[in-house]
Chains A and B, each alone.
Chain A
């Protein structure tokens, strides 16, 4: 009898069947924290329920808190039930939870890792996880270097028996260029870049990925997407909420580290990048890095001409009076942490030479919105009487809350004469597709297990972003004065002046 081998993909090689990762275990450090219960476990449960993870999948939580496997599972189940009352299937949860485990341990101590290693080997045998491991660092960023070092010392930077090992880092990736470089260096002592997955959940959002779809699957936009036709670009990432429960983190980070260094820079890259030759990790990330490298560095002594920060004071948002930043719980009454940042950036390359990119983000702005507005140059000549004041075309790509595209065009007002008015043409993607949008973490965790880092951030991306922002951060450090803006406004007056100096004005999103 011939013992014929068949390709393992023989049943899976059908584009209509979803890709399912290889067997593997996900280890979550900082498992007793909020992120695990609120984001990671719900996303994993959903992936399991929807048949997107293999049967041979296990989760191991690691944290200081003393807990049994059962207590850990019960805690996660409670959080899941709170999140989706009545939406959790008992049978599916039991099936998923039978592969969820907990190891209490001090992540500073080598013994914890020896115990973890033994436990994972046991799972390889008992649950068929095949020596594949993803280590998710959901703990405090200060622990990242230690955890990675201990993993390396324990030999867990390689999978068992030829399996793979990947490490996932949550933002922030450092506090500045020097610390980001140090962190990358520390991690790369034990893990190769191809094993490192830096997660910015913004990239997992369908809406953010749609920026690429809009640009690179519609040939009508690409020819006008350059300095030939574009006057300037405005990118807004606005939040209506205050600092909330994140006071401790936010006081140290501020809007620059919380939003600009990661989310805003990523949106800038996706807006300005050249078309990648393929939608794969290398091609996409290569193009993003090129954009960041082309962003003109702001000289430290000229920061005031290119950057504005602000902090919200008491004001009204959506009919509600809200406290100022310094009045918030656990915030220093003389804090100079910025809750608003506006920057004027130039991208010195062939496509964007001379086109300013005005970017801004802030808390307690009038509404929550993320959008990219491409303002085109005016027509070279208006043949219609009275058309001198006609507004230029603006293409707005709205990422949230209502994803869509809007194009402002000039149109004739019906009747005699030739009066031209600007008209907004709106397309909400939601009116074309009502399909349930997967949560960003679902997408990213699945990509992690599949070994696809396209939507994760490479070391040179994060370092380049810091390199752009470092001079601004340095110039602001130690300054005791900060411009204020009332909650519910679009930022301090200085932000308006920043753009008005160029004869332009901020859009009202």
Chain B
């Protein structure tokens, strides 16, 4: 069944045992033998009817790198009558070009559960019995909203890690505050990941690289000004970047204001005032350029318009001291989700960046 997606028709509520048997049947090879399953995680996705097709596609593509059982929960609690429809599919993909010219086959399973009416308030009762035992559970809320607490506690107790997207709601500030509040909860909250934070990883790495040479490391304490160009969808990334820089570099927030072009923040840095300006940019690139100025040097990481490449430069005035071009990597939802699925523990750096953002916004 390589490269072939097999599905069972939607049907009403079936028992977990029936679902397991049906999934095994879908994985069966033509000769009747059972395709081996080697899963590394469970992924529960809570999504809406409108987003479901796209989310299903992302999850299927992801299965190549993360063989998993994905459980898509599409819920509508506003429907008066209780109704549960379950669809099953299995997909095996092959990767060629492995060392030695061999190929590998990876199989993944997807269970789609449409829930209407009162059961939609108790998704955990449906998702829990469908999980593969002993494997980590990731819980992805695709529509951006930070689930209310303790509103999501039923699902959250199933999960080791909650994956959110602060950029998906259109109200970035509220999302980031909500996430920071979740982090403050003491008990029962799983670890938290944010796709917008995952998108920042290459940017953070490239910025850190600029200060790797010992003679430039000292410039970190002398940063006076930061400019960040972003579009509407990149506002959360820009704010998280400011939170990361200010937290790591020991900047204390002094003021925050909206400007005609975006936002401006002022900080008390270790060797004087630091200004951070966020500029809204037109092209549809979430993060387009980050530029840091010290007394003598300027450091820049910028993305090419059409390419997934980034150029880093170090300048003294007009003099170019160093430059390079590298892959920035893809920032599609699937890639960012994949990046989050690699990580299981508590992301202390993310937590501290979030706290710094809230502090800055509260100034």
Tell me whether B38 and A428 are in contact (CB under 8 A): yes
Tell me whether B100 and A400 are in contact (CB under 8 A): yes
Partner-binding segment picked from A223-231, A256-264, A411-419, A433-441:
A433-441
Tell me whether B322 and A127 are in contact (CB under 8 A): yes
Digit string of B205-228 for contact with A (CB within 8 Å is 1, else 0)?
111111111110110111000000
In the complex, chain A residues whose CB is within 8 Å of the CB of B107: 431
* CB-CB contacts below 8 Å: B15-56 with A: 36-40
* CB-CB contacts below 8 Å: B86-113 with A: 93, 95, 98-107
In the complex, chain B residues whose CB is within 8 Å of the CB of A207: 99
A11 on interface, CB distance cutoff 8 Å: yes
- With contacts A1-B271, A51-B205, A205-B99 taken as known, whether A10 is within 8 angstroms of B104 at the C-beta atoms is no
Digit string of A196-232 for contact with B (CB within 8 Å is 1, else 0)?
0000000001010000000000000000000000000
Tell me whether A6 and B270 are in contact (CB under 8 A): yes
Tell me the nearest residue of chain A to B39, going by C-beta.
A432
Alpha-carbon gap, A48 to B323, bound state (A)? 12
Alpha-carbon gap, A95 to B311, bound state (A)? 9
* CB-CB contacts below 8 Å: A363-405 with B: 368, 400-402
Tell me whether B343 and A16 are in contact (CB under 8 A): yes
Tell me the nearest residue of chain A to B322, going by C-beta.
A55
Partner-binding segment picked from B4-12, B154-162, B324-332:
B324-332
Range class of the B interface residue count: 35 or more
- With contacts A91-B307, A401-B102 taken as known, whether A6 is within 8 angstroms of B217 at the C-beta atoms is yes
Tell me whether A128 and B322 are in contact (CB under 8 A): yes
In the complex, chain B residues whose CB is within 8 Å of the CB of A89: 307, 309, 325, 327
Digit string of B159-183 for contact with A (CB within 8 Å is 1, else 0)?
0000000000000000000000000
- With contacts A11-B208, A17-B208 taken as known, whether A92 is within 8 angstroms of B326 at the C-beta atoms is yes
Alpha-carbon gap, A187 to B100, bound state (A)? 35
Tell me whether A434 and B95 are in contact (CB under 8 A): yes
Tell me the nearest residue of chain B to A128, going by C-beta.
B213
- With contacts A6-B221, A427-B38 taken as known, whether A50 is within 8 angstroms of B326 at the C-beta atoms is yes
Distance to closest chain B CB from A224 (angstroms): 22
Tell me whether B221 and A5 are in contact (CB under 8 A): yes
Alpha-carbon gap, A434 to B39, bound state (A)? 12
Tell me whether B271 and A4 are in contact (CB under 8 A): yes
Tell me whether B209 and A55 are in contact (CB under 8 A): yes
Distance to closest chain A CB from B295 (angstroms): 10
Tell me whether B104 and A434 are in contact (CB under 8 A): yes
Distance to closest chain B CB from A405 (angstroms): 11
Distance to closest chain A CB from B212 (angstroms): 5
In the complex, chain B residues whose CB is within 8 Å of the CB of A149: none
A22 on interface, CB distance cutoff 8 Å: yes
User: What number of A residues sit within 8 Å (CB to CB) of B?
Assistant: 50
Alpha-carbon gap, A4 to B219, bound state (A)? 10
* CB-CB contacts below 8 Å: A33-56 with B: 48-51, 54-56
- With contacts A2-B271, A431-B38 taken as known, whether A48 is within 8 angstroms of B220 at the C-beta atoms is no
- With contacts A400-B100, A437-B99 taken as known, whether A427 is within 8 angstroms of B36 at the C-beta atoms is yes
Distance to closest chain A CB from B346 (angstroms): 10
Digit string of A2-16 for contact with B (CB within 8 Å is 1, else 0)?
111111101110101
B202 on interface, CB distance cutoff 8 Å: yes
B312 on interface, CB distance cutoff 8 Å: yes
Q: Which of B201, B221, B325 contacts A3 (CB 8 A)?
A: B221
B283 on interface, CB distance cutoff 8 Å: no
In the complex, chain A residues whose CB is within 8 Å of the CB of B220: 6, 8, 10-11
Distance to closest chain B CB from A483 (angstroms): 28
- With contacts A11-B220, A51-B205, A51-B326 taken as known, whether A434 is within 8 angstroms of B64 at the C-beta atoms is yes
Tell me whether B205 and A17 are in contact (CB under 8 A): yes
Tell me whether A51 and B322 are in contact (CB under 8 A): no
Q: Which of A2, A92, A402, A428 contacts B327 (CB 8 A)?
A: A92
In the complex, chain A residues whose CB is within 8 Å of the CB of B65: 433-435
Alpha-carbon gap, A427 to B211, bound state (A)? 44
B363 on interface, CB distance cutoff 8 Å: no
In the complex, chain B residues whose CB is within 8 Å of the CB of A7: 217
Q: B interface, by DSSP: helix, strand, loop or mixed?
A: mixed
A18 on interface, CB distance cutoff 8 Å: yes
In the complex, chain B residues whose CB is within 8 Å of the CB of A20: 205, 208-209, 212
Distance to closest chain A CB from B310 (angstroms): 8
Tell me whether B209 and A51 are in contact (CB under 8 A): yes
Tell me the nearest residue of chain B to A206, going by C-beta.
B99
A130 on interface, CB distance cutoff 8 Å: yes
Distance to closest chain A CB from B320 (angstroms): 11
Distance to closest chain A CB from B290 (angstroms): 12
Alpha-carbon gap, A130 to B211, bound state (A)? 13
A85 on interface, CB distance cutoff 8 Å: no
Q: A interface, by DSSP: helix, strand, loop or mixed?
A: loop
Distance to closest chain A CB from B13 (angstroms): 31
In the complex, chain B residues whose CB is within 8 Å of the CB of A11: 204, 207-208, 211, 220, 245, 248-249
In the complex, chain A residues whose CB is within 8 Å of the CB of B64: 434
Tell me the nearest residue of chain A to B212, going by C-beta.
A54
Tell me whether B204 and A10 are in contact (CB under 8 A): no
Tell me whether A22 and B67 are in contact (CB under 8 A): no
Tell me whether B327 and A50 are in contact (CB under 8 A): yes
In the complex, chain B residues whose CB is within 8 Å of the CB of A432: 38-40, 67, 106
B347 on interface, CB distance cutoff 8 Å: yes
* CB-CB contacts below 8 Å: A175-213 with B: 205, 207
Tell me whether B209 and A5 are in contact (CB under 8 A): no
Alpha-carbon gap, A95 to B314, bound state (A)? 14
A111 on interface, CB distance cutoff 8 Å: no
Distance to closest chain B CB from A65 (angstroms): 28
Q: Which of B36, B206, B218, B323 contacts A95 (CB 8 A)?
A: B323
A430 on interface, CB distance cutoff 8 Å: yes
Tell me whether B106 and A401 are in contact (CB under 8 A): no
Alpha-carbon gap, A16 to B349, bound state (A)? 9
Tell me whether B347 and A16 are in contact (CB under 8 A): yes
Tell me whether A95 and B326 are in contact (CB under 8 A): yes
In the complex, chain A residues whose CB is within 8 Å of the CB of B213: 22-23, 54, 56, 128, 130
Alpha-carbon gap, A274 to B302, bound state (A)? 49
* CB-CB contacts below 8 Å: A249-284 with B: none
B188 on interface, CB distance cutoff 8 Å: no
Tell me whether A92 and B325 are in contact (CB under 8 A): yes
Tell me whether B100 and A431 are in contact (CB under 8 A): no
Alpha-carbon gap, A128 to B204, bound state (A)? 21
In the complex, chain B residues whose CB is within 8 Å of the CB of A115: none
A71 on interface, CB distance cutoff 8 Å: no
Distance to closest chain A CB from B243 (angstroms): 13
Tell me whether B323 and A23 are in contact (CB under 8 A): no
Distance to closest chain B CB from A92 (angstroms): 5
A426 on interface, CB distance cutoff 8 Å: yes
Alpha-carbon gap, A401 to B65, bound state (A)? 19
In the complex, chain B residues whose CB is within 8 Å of the CB of A327: none
In the complex, chain B residues whose CB is within 8 Å of the CB of A5: 218, 221
B250 on interface, CB distance cutoff 8 Å: yes
Tell me the nearest residue of chain A to B272, going by C-beta.
A1
Residues in chain B within 8 A of chain A (CB atoms): 36-40, 64-65, 67, 93, 95, 98-107, 201-202, 204-215, 217-218, 220-222, 245, 248-250, 270-272, 304, 307, 309, 311-312, 314, 321-327, 343, 347, 349
Q: Which 8 pairs from chain A and chain B are nearest by CB?
A: A430-B104, A401-B100, A8-B217, A4-B270, A95-B325, A11-B208, A432-B38, A431-B38
Residues in chain A within 8 A of chain B (CB atoms): 1-8, 10-12, 14, 16-18, 20, 22-23, 48-51, 54-56, 89, 91-92, 94-96, 127-128, 130, 205, 207, 368, 400-402, 426-428, 430-435, 437
* 23 A-B pairs (CB sep. < 8 Å): A1-B271, A3-B271, A5-B221, A6-B249, A6-B270, A16-B201, A17-B205, A20-B209, A23-B213, A55-B312, A56-B213, A92-B326, A96-B324, A128-B321, A130-B213, A130-B214, A368-B100, A400-B100, A401-B100, A428-B38, A428-B104, A431-B106, A434-B104
